[in-house]
Chain A
Amino acid sequence: MRRPLSVIVVAAGLFAAPALAFASEGEAKAPGTWLNWLLSVRVAGHPLAPGPAWLTFYWALLVAAALAVASYVGTRRLVVRAGPRQLTLEIFVGGIRNLLQTVLGDRAGEYLPFIGALFIYIAVMNLLGLVPGMVAPTSNLNTTASLAIISFVVIHYTGFRESKLGYLKHFVEGVPLRFSFKVSAMLTLLAMLPVAALVLISHLVTAIFLPVTLAMRLYGNVMGEERVVESLIEVVAHSMARWIPVQLPNMVLGVVTSVVQAVIFAMLTAVNLSLVLHQKQESEDSQVA
């Protein structure tokens, strides 16, 4: 991945997550997790976790650190004839790369680190919610909104890098705005201006709507899964049947939806990236058989 892109991704992420966690203090319930002791830690007079929402933030940081360490350890001493550990990692990376190639084509290699990391990070975060004692960081709108902001920034940064200032013409696509010194051409241009304004508004709304939909879809799915498990446990918790794990079938379904939602997030980001990239058209391959 080109270096400025990775810097942009890291900067967007570092900025977005704490900013959003500041914005939502005083939420109702604190989940019971292994990091709950952070709620009472103070550093130089300031609490590390001013509200329960910050717990998911620290869990997200923990997951990111754990994945970074695991990836570093897993990629030491790569050999051509690989053992099982390296082969497992290769299966994951190869699978994501194949999926990405159907969307991005030739340029899959450039964006594989970003999209792959996004997918693995979101999948692990979602699955973490199903482990007792841990909470899914994506069950908080702050985490999902941060991820959506990162996707938004990367997509539009890529658009500007691809087409420089021509990216702005992308927002009035489809409207024939041609300037020449003939009267007819200038009248057409004048007539096309309101059309261009409407097209511009609709493209801007779509561009703003994309991170909103990404964030809300992921948040709704993961939080809904947690709520369902919580409600099921609450049904039996105060009766004689409290030892029966009635929430298990839902948790099995939760494994599937966690991975599917990670795929959806990564694929939507990839599809929007492909829309702003200039791709070489190959006439035979682009026909659907």
Chain B
Amino acid sequence: MLYLFGLVLAAGFAVAIPAFSGGLGQSRAIAAAMEGTARQPEAAGRLLILMILGLAFIESLTIYAFVIALQLLGKLPETSAVVSALGGG
């Protein structure tokens, strides 16, 4: 039972913590791009491309954690099996 508890807890935190820090990191990139666009509106196109590139790199770290969380969740048994193991209900 502790094994299942650990699996679910780990899967939950595995998505939450990288999402939080990924959001922080991406917000800095977007803020810098917005400030650059405000200073020089004609550079908006180039800054947009660089911002998208940077965002995708930061997002990939969140995606790695998401993939691991999915693999953890794949190891959980079916709900019916858990219910019958706990003694029916």
B54 to chain A, nearest CB (A): 10
| Chain B interface, number of residues (Cβ within 8 angstroms) | 12
Interface of A is mostly: helix
Is residue B27 contacting chain A, with contact meaning CB distance below 8 A? no
Report whether A217 and B53 are in contact in the complex, using a CB–CB cutoff of 8 Å: no
Q: A216-B60, A217-B60 are in contact. Are A267 and B53 (CB under 8 A)?
A: yes
Report whether A264 and B53 are in contact in the complex, using a CB–CB cutoff of 8 Å: yes
Is residue A94 contacting chain B, with contact meaning CB distance below 8 A? no
What does the 1/0 interface line of B59-89 toward A look like (CB < 8 Å)? 1100110110010001000000000000000
Report whether B60 and A260 are in contact in the complex, using a CB–CB cutoff of 8 Å: no
Is residue A56 contacting chain B, with contact meaning CB distance below 8 A? no
Which of B56, B67, B74 meets A264, CB within 8 Å? Answer: B56
User: Of residues 187 to 238 in A, which have CB atoms within 8 Å of B's CB atoms?
Assistant: 213, 216-217, 219-221, 223-224, 227
Q: Which residues of B contact A217 (CB under 8 A)?
A: 56, 60, 63-64
B15 to chain A, nearest CB (A): 11
Is residue B52 contacting chain A, with contact meaning CB distance below 8 A? yes
Q: Which residues of B contact A221 (CB under 8 A)?
A: 59-60, 63
Residue of A nearest to B67 (CB): A220
Q: Which residues of A contact B60 (CB under 8 A)?
A: 213, 216-217, 220-221, 264
Interface of B is mostly: helix
Q: Which residues of B contact A223 (CB under 8 A)?
A: 67
Report whether A220 and B63 are in contact in the complex, using a CB–CB cutoff of 8 Å: yes
A16 to chain B, nearest CB (A): 20
Q: A213-B60, A216-B60, A217-B60 are in contact. Are A224 and B53 (CB under 8 A)?
A: no
A-B CB pair tally, cutoff 8 Å: 32
Q: Which residues of B contact A213 (CB under 8 A)?
A: 60
| Chain A interface, number of residues (Cβ within 8 angstroms) | 15
Report whether B67 and A216 are in contact in the complex, using a CB–CB cutoff of 8 Å: yes
Q: In the complex, which of the residues B53, B56, B66 has the most CB atoms of chain A within 10 Å of its own CB atom?
A: B56
Q: Which residues of A contact B53 (CB under 8 A)?
A: 263-264, 267
What does the 1/0 interface line of A259-271 toward B look like (CB < 8 Å)? 0110110010000
Residue of A nearest to B64 (CB): A216
In the bound assembly, the distance between CA atoms of A163 and B85 in angstroms comes to 63
Q: Which residues of A contact B74 (CB under 8 A)?
A: 28
Report whether B56 and A260 are in contact in the complex, using a CB–CB cutoff of 8 Å: yes
Listed by A's residue number, 26 A-B pairs whose Cβ atoms lie within 8 Å are A28-B74, A213-B60, A216-B63, A216-B64, A216-B67, A217-B56, A217-B63, A219-B67, A220-B60, A220-B63, A220-B64, A220-B66, A220-B67, A221-B59, A221-B60, A221-B63, A223-B67, A224-B63, A227-B70, A260-B52, A260-B56, A261-B56, A264-B53, A264-B57, A264-B60, A267-B53
Interface residues of A (CB under 8 A from B): 28, 213, 216-217, 219-221, 223-224, 227, 260-261, 263-264, 267
10 tightest A-B contacts by CB?
Answer: A220-B63, A217-B60, A264-B56, A220-B67, A216-B64, A260-B56, A260-B52, A221-B63, A220-B66, A217-B63
Interface residues of B (CB under 8 A from A): 52-53, 56-57, 59-60, 63-64, 66-67, 70, 74
